[in-house]
Amino acid sequence: MTTNSSLTSQQLEEYLHEAVGEHVHDEEANSMFGFVVFLLSESIIFLSFFAAYIAYKTTTVDWLPAGVEGLEVREPAINTVVLVSSSFVIYFAELALKRHNLSLFRLFLFATMAMGSYFLAGQAIEWSALEFGFTSGVYGGMFYLLTGFHGLHVLTGVLLQGIMLGRSFYPGNYDKGHFGFEATSLFWHFVDVIWIVLFLLIYIWQ
């Protein structure tokens, strides 16, 4: 009788352990689902801006501000290569984290932050050299709105990466799960894809 009671208690303990484990897994999955929904809502905002840009560009007679013939493409193209390449670098950081190689994870993540910061610096330099401002017609307003809103997302991504980097120095922090960094990595890929569309619309389609 005692053996059966002991066996039942052990089975109950195993069942509860599995139930708690499944609950934790579902919680992470739900959190990621919620984050994906957030990114989809951000996509709708950007798509609205893209649609407005295309509509204004194809219907406005004097599209470019007076005295402006177009945008310089060389430096923005370099910034684009740097930003898009950073998506591969943060992917390597994610692989390193899954293999519990924190040293390599920190190296790749720091490199991603550096590349994102380079992009922001390049954009700031470009803005300072432009011959038109936010109030220079519809074109000026759309240009600064699109590039500025995207730049805000890049800055947010770099700050999130800094937080994830700091977390790696707390012993055992990432043993509890990788949701925070996986969400940050997904956000960074999203930012890079949005910029590719922006670059094609603003710099290539002039």
Q: What is the mean pLDDT of each run of 10 residues along the chain (206 residues)?
A: 51 57 63 91 96 95 88 96 98 94 96 98 96 92 96 98 93 82 96 97 94
What's the token pair of residue 14?
A: 């195993």
pLDDT at 172 (0 to 100): 83
pLDDT of residue 175: 79
SS3 of 171, please?
coil
Work out the angle between the directed axes of helices 137-167 and 102-129 (0-180°, nearest 10). Answer: 160
DSSP 39-108: HHHHHHHHHHHHHHHHHHHHH-SS-SPTT------HHHHHHHHHHHHHHHHHHHHHHHHHTT-HHHHHHH
What length does the chain have?
206
The domains found in the chain, sorted by start residue, are 9-204 (1.20.120.80)
CA atoms within 13 A of residue 95's CA, in its CB half-sphere: 7
In 3D space, the residue among 195, 179, 201, 168 whose CA is nearest the CA of residue 85 turns out to be: 195
Closest CA to 182 of 110, 80, 105, 118: 105
- Identify which of 203, 205, 183, 206 has the alpha carbon closest to the alpha carbon of residue 79: 203
Radius of gyration of the CA atoms of the chain, in A: 23
